[in-house]
């Protein structure tokens, strides 16, 4: 029953402990961070079972009942996101044991990392709109600092750009929250949706929706607002790139957008159409920009923009099937994009370069990295047995079903472009002749290999999520929450009593 | 009317962020944006003729302004403080590396 | 810090007038901060405002006497330790609420309103916050100033 606050309390406590003792005891940061994320992963898996049993749980902080007090909500969508975030975070901490050994202040890295994790879990679990903003800022501030972690020229520049954009986005979100509060005089999301239903949406929703699209769009790096992402994500250390690209943009951008638009505002068809158009634009342009890149991490970053487009398209179609597809793709993208960034980190760790032109033939020296990267690439470009294929298939089928034939055609063709640039990556990095000065390259250390293999296994097994029982339990229960729309409020208040 | 002025303040900050080339001026623009939103939130909670929402032992409270926005704005100010401190620190490091505050000259990254 | 170099290395800090005034006021400012923290549940203010004032008293000391003396009283390592302690204390208070069944439950007796010892865990939370804010703000200040100094020495 009371596991929900633990998702926030454990990483916060671990972060403070690391910053308190981490400087003196060298092994503590690694140990504590891994323990923390492992326990979070187990807890999040447990929460799936709890949700199946009870439906929805509302936790009253300090036993103040909502709408007065702050509430934490555990429903299908929440536990879906929690599982995604915490499991991948665990593999990333496992990876960073060896990777971060190059940097001096490892405990600082873990403190910020755990703070970011706490912020993300908070955003997911909270049922209060201002609390959502606070946790969003915690995660965002930690990520600004993490992007600048290397304090070199590029990192600082990227971090400054990212911080300015991020702060601007937060201001827009806060402005939207203020207008909503002034109209509904409540901050609890369920209560807010009730009031909006009773009073009628009025003009305020029309005013707030663009603010939220702007704010969360900047956080999620949808196409017109994507400019910071290809700078910020490659500049960070590889585990952080994986964390930012795999999880942060989804939690801060997509999840918050979905939660507010579907469950609180219940926005109109036109808004969904706008989301769909934005999704298609970012899908196409992101893919085209990715082809021209030579920096491996930059290519992956543009590919993130493109894949976020798929998710937005699924959300914009807004039929139950499309939402399920979008959520499935969100999970898949989190796994394979983290995997690919970790691969790029392993390459950088061993060869010291990120330039595709200087690589080549790495397969003979780094077999594990090569194989896992191949799986990740094929999965993201939608090769049939792998997980990426199924989620894209669902989104495209849903588009056809909703009679958006053009969108479906674009989505299918972008998938081919994706295949093209990932084949380019594979060819230039892992196949062909060995690049100059790469004769002595060694495979990455053990923990890095373990993390990559585990993520690759999830990519392969991702298709299994389509089995009816698992699908109902995991993805459909999340999609149901979203398609319930304003019914969310009724369920939340129903489960309090 | 006064809400409109808040929006003007917001727009000034936005102008500063988007148009200025100096890093410090961009940061000041961000701060102005933050303050505009905070001011707006306080104004949203204001009631005409209301007094401050503090309980006191010897007074009967008849009409007070909405205390919730004030509590929330305190949180938002703390967040603003953290963000500003971080961005200023980054800007100082940038100056350290590049020797300039002009963003048109800070262009290692392209694309 | 600029004045230091002009007046020679023997006398860091500002002039005698400033130093004397600082010596008189710094304790008062610190006490005022503490007052605001402990009365946080009764009057306006609280952990954040009080913590700011406490941090300002140290910053005041640093501006008047130069960095060495201020850092002797409150070093950078101490600042970061106190900051983490504040965070952990706050979290512990929140977790202790589990003894009553809820996270953040106000589990101590509330007492009479307007007494100094009332309102359950709120004063304790205020103290934790003030530790965090005071130490954190001072650490930010030190970090920004030191960056400047390091640059000058290069």
Give C16-43 pLDDT, tens digit per residue: 788 888 888 888 888 888 888 888 777 7
The reply to whether C85 touches chain A by the CB within 8 Å rule is yes
Q: Is residue B83 in a domain?
A: yes
Q: Using CA atoms in the order A78, A81, A84, A88, what is the torsion angle rounded to 10 degrees?
A: -100
SS3 at position B102: strand
Q: What pLDDT shows up at residue C113? A: 62
Query: What is the least distance, in Å, from the CA of C54 to any CA of chain B?
Result: 16
Is the confidence at residue C70, as pLDDT, over 80?
A: no
pLDDT of B59 above 80: no
Rounded to an integer, the average pLDDT of A410-424 is 87
Q: B92 to chain A nearest CA, in Å?
A: 10
What is the Cα–Cα distance from A414 to B44, expressed in whole angstroms? 46
Structure-token match 């409540």, residue found: A186
With beta carbons under 8 A apart, name residues in chain A contacting C104.
5, 61-62
A–B: how many Cβ contacts below 8 A? 89
Chain C residue closest in CA terms to A14: C88
The sign of the torsion formed by the CA atoms of A414, A418, A419, A421 equals positive
Q: What is the pLDDT of residue C6?
A: 46
Domain count of the fold of chain A: 1
Closest CA to C47 of C76, C91, C107, C90: C90
**Range B31-43 average pLDDT:** 88
Q: Is the pLDDT of residue C3 over 50?
A: no
A168 inside domain: no
pLDDT for C2 equals 44
pTM over 0.80: yes
C118 touches chain A (CB under 8 A): no
Mean pLDDT of A22-47: 81
Among A243-257, A287-301, A358-372, which stretch is predicted with the lowest mean pLDDT?
A358-372
> Mean pLDDT of all residues in chain B?
81
Please compute the mean of the pLDDT values over residues A462-488 and round it to a whole number: 73
Q: Which helix (H) or strand (E) holds A74?
A: strand A71-74
Residue of C nearest to B93 (CA): C147
Q: What is the pLDDT of residue A459?
A: 83
- The verdict on residue A313 lying in a domain is yes
- Number of domain units in chain B: 1
Crossing angle of the two packed helices A269-291 and A405-429, in degrees rounded to 10: 30
Q: Which of C83, C103, C106 sits opposite A5 (nearest CB)?
A: C103
Q: What is the pLDDT, as a whole number, of residue C8?
A: 45
pLDDT for A90-108, tens place per residue? 888 888 888 877 777 788 8
Which of A22-31, B100-109, C51-60 is the most confident on average? Answer: C51-60
In this structure, is residue B33 part of a structural domain?
A: yes
For the residues A315-324, what does the mean pLDDT come to?
84
pLDDT for res B73: 87
* Structure tokens belonging to residue A27: 């092994």
Q: Is C152 on the interface with B (CB under 8 A)?
A: no
pLDDT surpassing 60 at residue C88: yes
Which residue in chain B has the smallest CA separation from C145?
B89
Task: Assess if residue A10 is contained within a domain.
Answer: no
Alpha-carbon gap, residue A147 to A375, rounded angstroms: 27
The pLDDT of residue A406 is above 80: yes
Q: Which residues of C touch B88 (CB under 8 A)?
A: 144
Look at A33-37, A381-385, B33-37 and tell me which has the smallest mean pLDDT. Answer: A381-385
Interface test with A, best of C82, C95, C104 (most A CBs within 10 A): C104
User: Is B85's CB within 8 Å of C144's CB?
Assistant: yes
Closest to A170 (Cα-Cα) out of A117, A120, A132, A116: A132
pLDDT at B2 over 70: yes
Q: By residue range, what is the domain housing residue A302?
A: 268-466
For A41-94, write each residue's pLDDT tens digit. Answer: 888 888 887 777 777 777 777 666 667 777 788 888 888 888 888 888 888 888
Predicted local distance difference test score (pLDDT) of residue B5: 85
Q: In Å, how far is C24's CA from the nearest CA of chain A? A: 34
Give the residue from C89, C81, C91, C95 showing the smallest Cα distance to C138.
C81
CB-CB neighbors (< 8 A) of A9 in chain C: 91, 94-95, 103
Structural domain includes residue B12: yes
Residue A104 belongs to some domain of the structure: no
DSSP B40-95: HHHHHT--TT-B-----TT-----B--HHHHHHHHHHHHHHHHHHHHHHHHHHHHH
Measured N-to-C along each axis, helices A153-184 and A129-147 cross at an angle, to the nearest 10 degrees, of: 170
Q: Which of C82, C91, C151 to mutate to test the interface with A (most CBs of A within 10 A)?
A: C91
Residue B54 covered by a domain: no
Query: Residue B85: its pLDDT value, please?
Result: 87
DSSP A236-273: S-HHHHHHIIIIIIIIIIIIHHHIIIIIII---HHHHH
Q: Do C48 and B89 lie within an 8 Å CB cutoff?
A: no
Does the pLDDT of residue A152 top 60, yes or no? yes
Nearest to A212 by CA among A163, A267, A142, A162: A267
Per-residue buried b or exposed e for A271-285, using 16+ beta carbons within 10 Å of the residue's own CB:
bbebbbebbbbbbbb
- pLDDT the model gives residue C4: 45
- Please tell me the predicted confidence (pLDDT) of residue B57: 66
Q: Is the peptide bond before A402 cis (omega within 30 degrees of 0)?
A: no
Inter-chain touch C102–A17, beta carbons under 8 Å: no
pLDDT of residue C111: 62
Residues with Cβ within 8 Å of residue A342, at least 6 apart in sequence: A91, A92, A95, A238, A239, A242, A448, A451, A452, A455
**Using one digit for the tens of pLDDT, what is the confidence trace for A185-227?**
888 887 888 888 787 767 778 888 888 888 888 888 887 777 8
Residue A370 inside a domain? The answer is yes
In this prediction, residue C38 carries a pLDDT of: 82
> Is 70 exceeded by the pLDDT of residue C13?
no
User: What is this model's ipTM?
Assistant: 0.90
Mean pLDDT: which of A14-18, A414-418, B57-61, C92-96 is highest?
Answer: A414-418
Kindly determine whether residue C91 and residue A60, on different chains, have CB atoms separated by under 8 Å: no
Residue at B55 is within a domain: no
* Predicted confidence (pLDDT) per residue in A238-253, tens digit: 888 888 888 888 888 8
B42: in domain: yes
- Domain interval for residue B12: 2-47+65-98
Query: By the 8 A CB rule, do A85 and A43 touch?
Result: no
pLDDT exceeds cutoff 60 at B29 = yes
User: Which domain CATH number covers B70?
Assistant: 1.10.287.3510
Residues of A in contact with B11 (CB under 8 A): none
Chain A residue set in contact with C, beta carbons under 8 Å: 2, 5, 9, 12-13, 15-17, 19-20, 59-63
Which chains, if any, share at least 3 CB pairs under 8 A with chain B?
A, C
Q: What would the pLDDT profile of C50-62 be if each residue is shown by its tens digit?
A: 888 888 888 888 7
C-alpha B46: how far from chain center: 19
């Amino acid at each position: 029953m009371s596991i929900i606050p633990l998702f926030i309390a454990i990483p916060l406590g671990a972060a403070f402990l690391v910053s308190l003792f981490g400087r003196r005891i060298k092994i503590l940061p690694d140990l504590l961070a891994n323990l923390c994320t492992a326990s979070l992963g187990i807890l999040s898996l447990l929460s799936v079972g709890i949700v199946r049993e009870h439906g929805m749980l509302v936790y009253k902080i300090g036993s103040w009942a909502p709408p007065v007090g702050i509430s934490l909500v555990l429903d299908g969508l929440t536990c879906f996101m929690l599982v995604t975030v915490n499991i991948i975070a665990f593999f990333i901490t496992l990876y960073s044991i060896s990777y971060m050994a190059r940097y001096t202040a490892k405990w600082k890295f873990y403190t910020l990392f755990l703070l970011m994790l706490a912020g993300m879990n908070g955003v997911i679990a909270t049922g209060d709109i201002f609390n959502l903003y606070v946790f969003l800022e915690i995660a965002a501030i930690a990520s600004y600092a993490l992007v600048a972690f290397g304090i070199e020229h590029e990192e600082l520049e990227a971090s400054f750009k990212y911080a300015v954009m991020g702060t601007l986005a937060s201001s827009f979100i806060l402005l939207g929250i203020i207008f909503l509060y002034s109209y509904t005089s409540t901050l609890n999301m369920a209560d807010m949706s009730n009031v909006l239903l009773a009073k009628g949406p009025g003009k305020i929703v029309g005013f707030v929706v663009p603010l939220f699209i702007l704010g969360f769009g900047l956080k999620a790096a949808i196409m017109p607002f994507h400019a910071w992402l290809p700078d910020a994500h490659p500049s960070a250390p590889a585990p952080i790139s994986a964390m930012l690209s795999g999880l942060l943009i989804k939690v801060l951008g997509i999840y918050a957008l979905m939660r507010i638009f579907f469950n609180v505002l219940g926005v109109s068809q036109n808004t969904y159409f706008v989301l769909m158009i934005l999704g298609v634009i970012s899908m196409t342009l992101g893919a085209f920009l990715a082809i021209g890149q030579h920096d491996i991490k930059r290519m992956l970053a543009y590919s993130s923009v493109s894949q976020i487009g798929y998710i937005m398209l699924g959300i914009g179609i807004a039929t139950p099937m499309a939402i399920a597809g979008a959520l499935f793709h969100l999970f898949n993208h989190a796994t394979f994009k983290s995997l690919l960034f970790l691969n790029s980190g392993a390459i950088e760790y061993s060869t010291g370069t990120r330039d595709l032109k200087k690589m080549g033939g790495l397969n003979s020296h780094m077999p594990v990295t090569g194989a896992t990267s191949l799986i990740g690439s094929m999965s993201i470009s939608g090769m049939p047995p792998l997980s990426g294929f199924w989620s894209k298939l669902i989104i495209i089928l849903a588009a056809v079903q909703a009679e958006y034939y053009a969108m479906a055609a674009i989505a299918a063709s972008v998938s081919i472009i994706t295949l093209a640039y990932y084949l380019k990556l594979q060819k230039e990095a892992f196949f062909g002749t060995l690049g100059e000065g790469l004769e002595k390259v060694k495979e990455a250390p053990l923990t890095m290999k373990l993390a990559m293999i585990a993520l690759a296994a999830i990519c392969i097994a991702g298709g299994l999520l389509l089995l009816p029982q698992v699908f109902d339990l995991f993805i459909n229960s999340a999609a149901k929450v979203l398609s319930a729309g304003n019914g969310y409020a009724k369920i939340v208040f129903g489960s309090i009593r | 009317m006064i809400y409109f002025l808040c929006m003007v303040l917001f727009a000034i900050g936005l102008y500063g962020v988007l148009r200025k080339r100096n890093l410090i001026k961009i940061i000041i623009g961000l701060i102005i944006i933050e303050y505009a939103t905070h001011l707006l939130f306080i104004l949203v909670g204001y009631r005409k003729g209301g007094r401050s929402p503090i309980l006191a032992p010897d007074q009967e409270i008849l009409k007070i302004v909405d205390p919730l926005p004030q509590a929330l704005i305190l949180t938002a100010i703390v967040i603003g403080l953290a963000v500003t401190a971080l961005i200023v620190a980054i800007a100082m490091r940038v100056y350290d590396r590049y020797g300039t505050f002009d963003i048109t000259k800070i262009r290692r990254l392209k694309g | 810090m600029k004045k230091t170099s002009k007046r020679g290395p023997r006398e860091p800090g500002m002039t005698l007038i400033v130093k004397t005034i600082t010596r008189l006021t710094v304790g008062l400012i610190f006490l005022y901060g503490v007052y605001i923290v402990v009365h946080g549940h009764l009057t306006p203010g609280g952990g954040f405002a009080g913590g700011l004032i406490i941090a300002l008293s140290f910053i005041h000391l640093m501006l008047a006497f130069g960095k060495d003396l201020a850092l002797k009283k409150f070093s950078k390592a101490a600042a970061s330790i106190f900051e983490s302690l504040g965070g952990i204390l706050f979290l512990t208070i929140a977790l202790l609420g589990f003894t009553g069944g809820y996270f953040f439950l106000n589990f101590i007796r509330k007492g009479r309103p307007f007494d100094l010892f009332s309102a359950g865990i709120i004063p304790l939370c205020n103290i934790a916050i003030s530790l965090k804010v005071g130490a954190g703000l001072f650490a930010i200040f030190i970090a920004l100033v030191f960056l400047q100094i390091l640059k000058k020495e290069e």
